[in-house]
Structure 1
Amino acid sequence: MSHVVVVGAGLSGLAAACHLVGDGHRVTVVEREDVPGGRAGRLTRDGFTFDTGPTVLTMPDLIDRPLRAAGSSLAERLDLTLLDPAYRGFFADGSTLEVRHGHEAMRAEIHRECGSLDAAAFDEFVIWLRRLYLAEMGSFIDRNFDRPTDLLANPRAAAQLLAMGGFGRLGPMIRRRFRDERLHRLFSFQAMYAGLAPDEALSIYAVITYMDSIEGVYFPKGGMRAVPEALAGAAADAGAEFRYGTSVTELVRDSSGRVRGVATDDGEQLASDAVVCTVDLPTAYRWWLPDVRPPRAVNGLLGGNYSPSCVVWHVGVRGVADGKAHHNIHFGHQWSEAFDDLLKRGTLMSDPSRLVTMHSLDDEEAAPEGHSTLYVLEPVPHLEVGSIDWEAQSTRDMMRERLLGFLQESGYPTDVVTEELVTPADWRDQGMAAGTPFALAHTFPQTGPFRPNNIDRRVPGLVFAGSGTVPGVGVPMVLPSGRLAAQRVDQMLGRPA
């Protein structure tokens, strides 16, 4: 039986472990933290439990896939609640719009708030989004590429994406379809998940809008942390071994350069036939492959284009907010101009849009009775743009006061019991290149077959997974990343994929 070591028990590593153990490999997962999750982590303090990573869960079938590979299922491991509304949008003019689940409910919301023309436009938009998703998922997202020309392996899908305007720009495409400016924002802010301003993002990333607005947003009982717990439990029950509280210090390579295992901080060497590495890709090269020149700049690792970072303020407060949903997006007056601050000038947004997630509304374990958890996210420049000194206590204090003032103005409770502020410097210290948890931006030269590959043929025996490689950033994309990594391992070891 072949032995595969998976470095990191984040979502991509756990998905890889599920697929690998299901394929008959002996699997050892090495994780530096004491619990699974990686970027989908948790923080427990003063009676509050915070989900510290992704807050939006879509496409649960992509969680079911690795669970089934390990002999389990979504129905067995997770209890999901559909969030309706998925988001509540608050606009600078005092109005609100909700992203409702289901075509008819969302159409009614648009008709009531924006008028009949935009409601009719939404009908056509939904048809376009579904066609885009079907053309894109199998041929462009959920597959391995050996070379850019592999995109032409399915010329019909490539031609369809081109004919649908998938390689145009998202922002202008949304503006052509809808009259109400609020819909421009509500259907394009998802470009930020891909690390780009809506006017710079490719229209293919409207697939994220499809996942949110059409397929629905869910919340698991027990919080977002229940997702990695479910995947880890399924992999362990299928035979995978987990070593928590253990850090990998180096990749063990033989004289030919082939990876033969890993060394850990407890002095042990784990021999293996292959290693799946989920460390942020540029960081993996810097830490463990200093003798290997990273892939060329077009693949983003030399002068690459990184996604913006963010500040996240986890706050446990006394009180419960009225009129707020699980996910709340507060849009500023500005839109395109604010992205210029973030992406070009490298400064804080002069008029920012922010996300506030209240897990405690649907997670009874998150906060004591009569209290709330607030997850407050503001996009900020990554560390290679601008000159904000996130190491300075004065900068952290300024950011805290800025977010506290926003919460007060927006009607949230602000009697703080406990808190944790996470900045780009903290993301960097966790091993995330450029201090961003969103990895390389999905510019055209860093998308699909042009994104850094999950193998480097100069380092046989090593496979990458996670948001820095294919298919890309975020939940649910890192789940297929784990499956694609497991497929690569099978190919390396001469087994049927």
Structure 2
Amino acid sequence: MTARQRSAVVIGGGVAGLASAALMARDGYDVTLLERQADLGGRAGSWTHEGFRFDTGPSWFLMPEVFDHFFALLGTSTVEQLEMELLDPGYRVFFEGRDRPVDVAAAREENVALFESLQPGAGAALETYLDSARRTYDVAVRRFLYTTFASPGFALSRDVLGNVHRLVPQLLRSLESFVAARFTDPRIRQILGYPAVFLGSSPDQAPSMYHLMSALDLDDGVLYPQGGFTRLVDVLADLARRQGVRVRVSSTVSQIRTVPVTGRGSRRRARATGVRYLDADGIEQDLDADVVVAAADLHHTETRLLPRELQTYPQEWWDRRTSGPGAVLVLLGVQGELPQLQHHSLFFARDWRENFGAIAQGRVPDPASIYVCRPSATDPSVAPAGHENLFVLVPGPADPGLGRGGQDGTGAAAVEAVADAAIDQIARWAGIGDLADRVVVRRTIGPADFAEDLNAWRGGMLGPAHTLAQSAMFRAGNVSRRVAGLYYAGSSTIPGIGLPMCLISAELLLKRLRGDRSAGPSAVPL
């Protein structure tokens, strides 16, 4: 007599949900994935219009070894699944009040020379800085990123104890202070401080441990998958289906179903038995499962899908937490070429304290520090011939009150005003005087879109910020303390924000299910 195959339902078809479903199915689970939207991807979305295809979420491909490891767990490889291209320069930076931008290269030695040209002595200082970043990153991979923190032993390893004299000060000191102690040129300080934004934080709030991020772009370089990040979503969905996952879109989960747990010795009040959802025809359905994995926004999962008495992270817990920033996204189809911009371009305002302070106070900065992606510089599939594709991100407060975006200027007035200001700023700083006149496709996305379409907490674009109190073992865990059989994955939980972190969160889920308390990446099956 064979044992019954355990069943699982995954809520959310973003990167973390697809990755979790694929790994669980490969491990022997009978998996169904439910996605609220008609398309998969979640924050890694896509929009196609009049020959243009826009990624509406992640656009930086860093930490390729994480992707390599994840694909290996599924019996394949990055090379088999994605066509990768190294960007060189990795990105261009425009500085307010400076005539010339700075190009950050794909190789360390070129970046050392660049820093030396900006500040005498900064080349050698960068070498030391990147060596430190690499050591910290390696320890993070071995001891922090791939652990569920279920065992206290992670803090007693030789790795951690041998580096405690470096790690503790890096946790207690801000990234801004860490950089300022080593470099005086404001341009260098901004280049090295900007990675905090990838973490949903700011340089004065992110622990200096996150200087490890500089090893990823200044040392390793920035990659791009041909076809864009929607290609990655397609690959993950295909791999999940190959493992037997049933993927159902336009399926909105309204409740995590539970039964009470009785008897002595039980640490949990209930056990998950599945979910209730509305299918694509609007019919309410019950789906039974032994395991429920919530890869949707954790705040939504806890406060909307569970009763108060079963919430591990109730509203009062969230009231004490810090959200990452919100954003206005501007998708532009532009006639003609834009050689003034690289694939990635950054526009840094002079007064960063005011910039980040405005966001914390609920205001969109003016001028803002803007990010622009021009994927058509690398990928001909994202725009018609003779046109360019621009993705513009303007960080702002996580405030759905700013409103929703829209096409051709039809979004909320506050959102469209931010978009107009961003287009004007890019035109002036990059010397593209006729940029606004050349726009043939325009769509905006506002914080209310994040809140309503993705159930994003406070309308944030990324998730809870990586402050000290919300990093590593202090971040929300990936298992419910109140409901047996309920697990979490995605940017709200460990290890955190970003595509690589979402892939790792799927592996951490698998570790939980296996009872694996090891700290490093899982062994790849032969």
TM range (shorter): over 0.9
Identify the range of structure 1 (239-248 vs 364-373) with the bigger mean alpha-carbon deviation: 239-248
Where do 1:51-450 residues align within 5 Å? 51-92=55-96, 93-111=98-116, 113-146=117-150, 149=152, 151-154=154-157, 156-157=159-160, 160-164=163-167, 165-167=169-171, 168-256=173-261, 257-266=270-279, 267-292=284-309, 294-295=311-312, 301-343=318-360, 345-383=361-399, 388=402, 393-409=412-428, 410-412=430-432, 413-414=435-436, 415-430=438-453, 431-450=455-474
For 1:174 and 1:294, locate their aligned partners in 2 and report how far apart those are by CA, in whole Å.
Answer: 40
Q: Contact between 2:13 and 2:41, CA under 8 Å: does it hold in 1?
A: yes
CA gap of 1:162–1:95, structure 2 versus 1, over 3 A, is farther
Secondary structure of the structure 1 residue equivalent to 2:17:
helix
Task: Answer yes or no: is the 8 Å Cα contact 2:302–2:312 preserved in 1.
Answer: no
**298-307 vs 462-471, which deviates more?**
298-307
Distance 2:120 2:63 in 1: 30
Amino acid of the structure 1 residue aligned with 2:374: M
The C-alpha deviation readout for 1:112-151, integer Å capped at 9, x for no partner, is: x31440111111111111111111222122210237x555
Task: Give 1:172's aligned amino acid.
Answer: S
Match of 1:10 among 14, 17, 21: 14
**Displacement of 1:224 after TM fit?**
1.1
What is the rounded CA distance, in whole Å, between the counterparts of 2:511 and 2:329 in structure 1? 35
Contact kept, 8 Å, 1:298 with 1:304, in 2: the verdict is no
- How far apart are the structure 1 equivalents of 2:148 and 2:441? 44
Higher mean C-alpha deviation, range 242-251 or range 152-161: 152-161
Alignment deviations for residues 385-418 of structure 1 (CA, whole Å, 9 cap, x no partner): xx75669832133223212212321334332212
Residues 98 and 3 from structure 1, CA distance in 2 versus in 1: closer, same or farther, beyond 3 angstroms?
same
Q: Deviations over 1:173-201 (max 9, x none)?
A: 11112232111000111111222220221
Q: Could you tell me how far 1:371 is from its partner in structure 2?
A: 0.7
Distance 1:150 1:39, change over 3 A: farther
Structure 1 counterpart of 2:450, one-letter code: W
Within a 5 Å distance, the mapping from 1:448-487 to structure 2 comes to: 448-487=472-511
C-alpha change, 1:158 and 1:260, in structure 2 (3 Å) is farther
Q: Quick check: 1:452–1:468 contact (8 Å CA) kept in 2?
A: yes
Cα displacement (A) at 1:32: 2.4
What secondary structure sits across from 2:163 in the alignment?
Answer: helix
Evaluate the alpha carbon distance shift between residue 320 and residue 154 of structure 1 in structure 2; reply closer, same or farther with a 3 A threshold.
same
Q: Deviations over 1:26-66 (max 9, x none)?
A: 22222223333111110011111100001101112212223
Preserved CA contact (<8 Å) 2:321 2:464: yes
- Alpha-carbon distance between aligned partners in 1 of 2:369 and 2:137, rounded to the nearest angstrom: 27
> Distance between the aligned counterparts of 2:243 and 2:482, measured in 1?
32
Provide Cα deviations, 1:232-272, integer angstroms capped at 9, x if missing partner. Answer: 21222222222223222221212332111122212332221
Once residues 380 and 292 of structure 1 are traced to their aligned partners in structure 2, the CA distance between those partners, rounded to angstroms, is 34
Distance 2:65 2:246 in 1: 25
Matches of 2:56 and 2:285, distance apart in 1: 31
C-alpha change, 1:475 and 1:208, in structure 2 (3 Å) is: farther
- Range 61-70 or range 77-86, more displaced: 61-70
Secondary structure, aligned partner of 2:187: helix
1:368-398 CA deviation, whole Å, 9 max, x = no partner? Answer: 01111111111101128xx756698321332
> 1:224–1:411: structure 2 CA closer, same or farther, 3 Å change rule?
farther
**TM-score in terms of structure 1 length:** 0.93
State whether residues 135 and 161 of structure 1, in contact with CA within 8 Å, keep that contact through their aligned partners in structure 2: no
2:376–2:389 CA contact under 8 A, matched in 1: yes
Q: Distance in 1 between matches of 2:403 and 2:9?
A: 38
1:62-104 CA-to-partner distances (Å, cap 9, x unmatched) read 1222322222221111110011111111112122222211221
Counterparts of 2:78 and 2:63, CA distance in 1: 12
What are the ranges of 5 or more consecutive residues in structure 2 without an aligned counterpart? 262-269, 406-410, 517-521
Give the counterpart letter for 1:236 in structure 2. Answer: R
Quick check: 1:251–1:259 contact (8 Å CA) kept in 2?
A: yes
Q: What amino acid does structure 2 have at the position aligned with 1:242?
A: V
Change (3 A) 1:469 1:299: farther
* Mean Cα deviation higher: 66-75 or 159-168: 159-168
Conserved 8 A contact 1:298-1:450: no
- Which consecutive unaligned segments of at least 5 residues does structure 1 have? none
Number of aligned pairs?
489
Distance 2:23 2:316 in 1: 27
